[in-house]
Chains A and B, each alone.
Chain A
Amino acid sequence: MRYSGLRVIKEALTGHKGWRPAWRDPEPKKSYDVVIIGGGGHGLATAYYLSKVHKITNVAVIEKGYIGGGNVGRNTTIIRSNYLLDGNEPFYELSLKLWEGLEQDFNYNAMVSQRGILNLVHTDAQRDAARRRGNAMILNGSDAELLDANGVRAMYPFLNFDNARFPIKGGLLHRRGGTVRHDAVAWGYARGADMRGVDIIQNCEVTGFKIENGKCLGVETTKGFIGAKKVASCVAGSSSRVMEKAGMRLPIESHVLQAFVSEGLKPVLDGVITFGAGHFYCSQSDKGGLVFGGDLDMYNSYAQRGNLPVVEDVMEGGMALIPAIGRVRMLRSWGGIMDMSMDGSPFIDKTHIDGLYFNGGWCYGGFKATPASGWCYAHLLATDKPHEVATAYRLDRFRTGHMIDEKGVGPNPNLH
C-alpha cells in the first residue's frame, strides 16, 4: 500500500478502515542468504538497500526487542555532514544526500527538516578551526558558511553574546543539516524492506554463532537455529556483547549518553545550535520541546540511564548559552548506550571469520549515518568489497596505524 495525501483523504472519509500493518510478523525460515542481527536504524536500512539496490531479498532482520527500540529511538535526531577528515566526510555527505531524497525513496514521512546547524565559536582559535573545517566540508561537496557575531545575532538574538568568559564571536553554519523524526526512519525502512520480502523477526535474541572451520554458518537464537550464507552484526551499543559470542574482542567501549527534553514551548529555536565553550547542543522539536544533550557520563556502562552530575553539567552549558531557558521545566531525560570506538570513528567491515560481517562503533553519531551506513553495509554484503566512501572503516586500522581521529585525542573512547 502506497501512502499519499489522496490516500489520507480517502481513509478519512471511509472511517480509516483500509489501513494495514506496515510490516508482517513472520516466523523465521530455516535459512537465508543474509541474516542481519539488530533491527535498529542501521540494520533496517541495510535490509532495505540490500533488497532495493542489490535485489537480495532472501534476508532476515533479527531483533531481540521490538524494532526501533534501541538507539534509533533514543537519540536527539540531528543529521549533518560537517566532518573534517577525508576518511569521514565523503561518507557523511553521502548520508546527507540520501536523507535529502529518503522520504520519496521509501514513501514514508520521516519529517526530514533541513533547518540548519550552527556551531558557535568563542575564540579566535576556534574561528580558525571552524574555517578549516568549513573548507574541508566544501571540498567534499558539503556546504558551510562562516558567520561573524552579527550574522549569528541576526539568527538567534537571545543567545548570551557578551558573556565575559565565552563571548560569541561567530559560528559555522551548515544549512543542509537539520533534524528528522527518528522513529519514522526505523518504520519507513522496515516497511520498505518488508514490502520487498525481507523477514523482520522481533523478540528473537541471538544467543550464539555457528562457526565451523573459520566459516560462519548461521546464528543460534531464542527461536532456534537460523542458517545464513552471510551474517551481518549491526548492534551498535551492544557490539562487544554480540561479537564476544564469536570470540572477538573489539576496539570499543560501551558508554552511556544522556539526552533531555523540556516542556513544550512556543517556537523559539528554528535550527540546531551547538555551544563551543562547553558540551551542549539544542534544537526544538515540532511539538515544542527543547531537545538537548551534552557529554557522556565518562565511565563504561550498559545501563540505559546516567547520573546526576552530567545532568547538572549539561544544564549549566544550556544556561551559559541561552539564559532565557532558566525557568523552563524539564520533561524527560534518558540514556542510550554508545559503541565508543578507539578513534571516534565507526567500522563497516568483514571480520576474520568467513561470512561474518561487522557494523558498529558509531560513538554518538550513529543516527545521522543511518542511510549511508545501510547503503555501504549492503554494498559490502552484496559485493564483498567496501563501498568507496567507507574504505577507511576497517577493523584492523589500529594495527596498521590508519586511525580516523577527528578530535585527535588518541585511544581514549570516552573523550571522542
Chain B
Amino acid sequence: MIINHPLLGPRDAQEFTYLGDASLIDRPDWQAEDAADQFHEYVYLRENPAGLHKELWFHEQGDRSWLVVTRNTVTHEITNVELARDVARARGRSK
C-alpha cells in the first residue's frame, strides 16, 4: 500500500506503524459523570466497519507525524490522507 503523505508525498506503508480507529483522537472528558462508561467505550469498543475506515497511522520511519488515513477495509484503497493534527484542530482541540 502507498500512503499519500500530505507533506511528503507518496510513501510506502511499511514506513508507518498502525494504531487503529481514528476515534482514538476523541479522548473522553475524565471529569464527566459517566467517565468510566465513556472510557470503556473509547478504549475497548470499535465500529470495525467493512468499508471506509478512518484510522491512525504513525510515520515512524519518516517525519514521525500522525496521519488520519481514510481507507476501504474491503479493497485496501486509500481515498484520503490528513495530518491528525489538522483533524484534531478542526474539532476545536489544542489551539
Residues of A within 8 A of B (CB): 238, 240-241, 244, 249-254, 298-303, 307, 309, 342, 398-399, 411-414
Contact = CB atoms under 8 A, between A and B. Distances in A.
Interface in B14-32: 14, 17-18, 20-21
B1 A412 contact: no
Bin chain B's interface residue count. Answer: 20 to 34
A307 B14 CA distance: 11
Contacts of A413: 20
B43 A298 contact: no
Contacts of A250: 45-46, 48
A1 B46 CA distance: 46
B41 interface: yes
A303 B14 contact: no
Nearest to B12: A309
Q: Which 3 A-B pairs have the closest CB atoms?
A: A240-B48, A398-B44, A302-B50
Given A253-B20, A299-B18, A398-B40, A240 B73 contact: no
Contacts of B73: 254, 300-303
Given A241-B50, A307-B76, A300 B20 contact: yes
A241 B46 CA distance: 11
Given A241-B50, A302-B74, A249 B41 contact: yes
Q: Secondary structure at chain A's binding surface: helix, strand, loop or mixed?
A: mixed
A360 to B, nearest CB: 11
Contacts of B14: 309
A300 B55 contact: yes
25 contacts: A240-B47, A240-B48, A241-B50, A249-B41, A249-B47, A249-B48, A250-B46, A252-B46, A252-B48, A253-B20, A254-B48, A254-B50, A299-B55, A300-B55, A301-B73, A302-B50, A302-B74, A303-B75, A303-B76, A307-B13, A342-B43, A398-B44, A411-B44, A414-B18, A414-B20
A401 to B, nearest CB: 10
Contacts of B43: 342, 398, 411
B78 to A, nearest CB: 11
Contact of B53 (A252, A300, A309, A414): A300
Contacts of A414: 18, 20
Contact of A412 (B20, B47, B49, B55): B20
A167 to B, nearest CB: 28
Given A300-B53, A301-B73, A303-B76, A253 B46 contact: yes
Contact of A301 (B13, B21, B41, B76): B76
A253 B21 CA distance: 9
Interface of B: 1, 13-14, 17-18, 20-21, 40-41, 43-50, 53, 55, 71, 73-76
B88 to A, nearest CB: 21
A251 B46 CA distance: 6
B22 to A, nearest CB: 11
A274 B75 CA distance: 31
Given A303-B75, A414-B18, 11 more contacts: A240-B48, A241-B50, A249-B45, A249-B46, A249-B47, A251-B45, A252-B46, A253-B20, A253-B46, A253-B48, A303-B73
A104 B41 CA distance: 45
A343 B50 CA distance: 22
A326 to B, nearest CB: 23
B19 to A, nearest CB: 8
Contacts of A303: 73-76
B44 A251 contact: yes
Contacts of B74: 302-303
Contacts of B17: 298
A334 B14 CA distance: 20
Nearest to A307: B1
B42 to A, nearest CB: 10
B48 A300 contact: yes
Most buried by A among B20, B40, B43, B46: B46
A301 B1 CA distance: 13
Contacts of A302: 50, 73-74
A342 B53 CA distance: 18
Nearest to A412: B20
Nearest to A254: B48
Contacts of B55: 299-300
Contacts of B75: 303
Contacts of A300: 20-21, 48, 53, 55, 73
A283 to B, nearest CB: 28
A307 B21 CA distance: 20
Contacts of A252: 46, 48
A380 to B, nearest CB: 22
